[in-house]
Amino acid sequence: MDIFLHILWNNVLPLSIVIGLGIALHRIFKLDIRTLSKLNFYLFSPAIMFELLYGTAISLQLFGQVLLFFVIFMLLQYAVLEAVVRVRKYKGGMRAAMRNSVLFYNSANYGIPINQLAFSGNTYTLSIQVIIMMMQSLIPNTYGIYNVNAHKATWREIRKVILSMPVIYVIPVALLMRGFSVPLPESVDISVGYLSHAFIAMALFTLGVQLGDMKGFLSRKLALDVGIATTLRLVAGPLLAWGVVLLLGVDDMTASALIVSSAVPTSLSSVLLAVEFDNEKDFASQSVLMSTALSIVTVTAAIYLLRI
């Protein structure tokens, strides 16, 4: 019960307040969601990625171990997801939206606080979460962009968009600067801090604006599909992760951190991609909202079952 209340009070409620502000202000002022989306992609997201990678000590061995887990886990998720996509006969934009809602999970503003809660601020497990967050930032800005545009644009056009994403350059730069101990000028460090601290609020606010543009928060037409996406993300995700850590034979602490990292709800990236490229925005928004609400129960259950 304590974990349940902690997640509700310290994770879900703060997210809900910022989302609610986005809904309210959009209905009053009719905000431009495309501008908000661009600010997230080109400014705030790269800043938080740089700050976390540059400021976190990660060993090469741990990096390789987590990366191997992530690749196997994502391939298994994709296989299960594709089976569902074929059974449901999703086409075009809906197929892309379903993939994004399951494959991209909230490893930053939800995953990091949950990691700190579950493991009492352990720096080792935080390093694991940061690596997962890095990959979960890189993939939406590459595969995610390709996925939402593949049915309506040429490869040349998609490639041009992908190469314009700052995150794909920020990640190697941050890792190299950290690896070679390149100091960051104080003025730049402060500026990056300002921008990175704004990321979570801006992403949640953007989700609220998108929800505020909808007539209802959960439409009957999309209810089944949202339920499928939520189940695959919150239930199938940690079960597949459990299978992968058993396969790899990692130690208990690492295994627990990886399973918890996979149990979090759908990422805001799926909404930002849907808005930026006009692809099933209502479905993406409702999937984030539903999975975040239900994660109170599923994440608590995962932490309890792991006996952390």
What 142-147 contacts at long range (C-beta under 8 Å, 24+ apart), as own/partner pairs, is 142/168, 144/100, 144/104, 144/269, 144/270, 144/273, 145/273, 145/277, 147/96, 147/99, 147/100, 147/273
What integer pLDDT is reported at residue 216 of this predicted model? 59
Contact 33, 209 (CB under 8 A): yes
What does the chain come to in residues? 308
Q: What stretches in the chain show pLDDT beneath 50?
A: none
pLDDT (tens digit, 9 = 90+) per residue, 157-190? 999 999 999 999 999 999 999 999 999 999 999 9
266 three-state secondary structure? strand
Query: Rg of the chain over CA atoms, in angstroms?
Result: 18
> Terminal CA-to-CA distance of the chain, rounded, Å?
15
| Calpha distance 114→106 (Å, rounded) | 11
Closest of 268, 40, 55 to residue 182, by C-alpha? 55
Q: Given this model, what pLDDT does residue 13 score?
A: 81
Q: Beta partners for 43?
A: none
Give yes or no for a contact between 263 and 299, defined as CB atoms under 8 angstroms apart: yes
Contact (Cβ atoms closer than 8 angstroms) between residue 222 and residue 34: no
- What are phi and psi for residue 266, nearest 5 degrees? -60, 140
User: Which amino acid is residue 64, in one-letter code?
Assistant: G
Instruction: Dump pLDDT digits (tens) for 248-297.
Output: 999 999 999 999 999 999 998 898 899 889 889 889 989 988 998 898 88
What pLDDT does 1 receive? Answer: 62
pLDDT of residue 131: 94
In this predicted structure, what is the pLDDT of residue 215?
62
Helices and strands (H and E) in the chain: how many: 17, 0
Catalogue all structural domains in the chain, each as residue range(s) with its CATH number.
2-306 (1.20.1530.20)
Decide: residue 221, CB within 10 A, 0-12 exposed, 13-18 middle, 19+ buried. Answer: exposed
Tokens of 197: 């601290």
Long-range contacts of 236-244 (CB under 8 A, 24+ apart): 236/77, 236/80, 237/77, 237/102, 237/105, 237/262, 237/263, 238/262, 238/263, 238/298, 238/302, 240/73, 240/76, 240/77, 240/80, 241/69, 241/73, 243/76, 244/69, 244/72, 244/73, 244/76
**What pTM does this model have?**
0.87
Q: Quote the pLDDT of residue 143.
A: 93
b/e string for 87-102 if b means 16 or more Cβ within 10 A?
A: eeebeebbbbbbbbbb
